[in-house]
Amino acid sequence: MSAAFQEDLHFTLPSGAEVRSPIERWGLGYQLNIEATPVIPLSFGRSDSAFGHSGMGGQYGMADPDTGLGLGFVRSHASINFRDAEGLRDRLYSCLAEES
C-alpha cells in the first residue's frame, strides 16, 4: 500500500468523528497494540510490544511480552462491550505492580 493511499484512508462515523489510518495495526493474525482513542477505545496493554485480538461479541485476548502477562476473556453471551475485559486486564496489571 502506498504512503499516499494510507494518508488518504479515512471515514466519518455517524457522530461526525473522522477516523484516519492507522485505525488498527496487524501482525500475522493478531492486532498490534495502539494507544486507545475515543474512536477506538481498545488497547492490548501498557507496552508497545503488547498484542492481541478483539473478537466477535466482546471476546478478548492479549499478551504483553514485556511483563509476561497474558489474558483470554470469553463471554457466555454476545456483547459489544470490551470494558469488562479491559477492567480485568487493568486489575491484572495492578496485581503485578503490587508484587513488585
pTM for the whole thing? 0.63
* Nearest partner of 92 among 55, 54, 49, 44, judged by Cα: 44
> Which tens digit of pLDDT belongs to each residue from 37-90?
776 667 888 888 999 888 888 888 999 999 999 999 888 888 877 788 888 888
Rounded-to-integer distance, Cα 42 and Cα 19, Å? 14
pLDDT band at 1 (very low <50, low <70, confident <90, very high): very low
Rounded-to-integer distance, Cα 74 and Cα 62, Å? 12
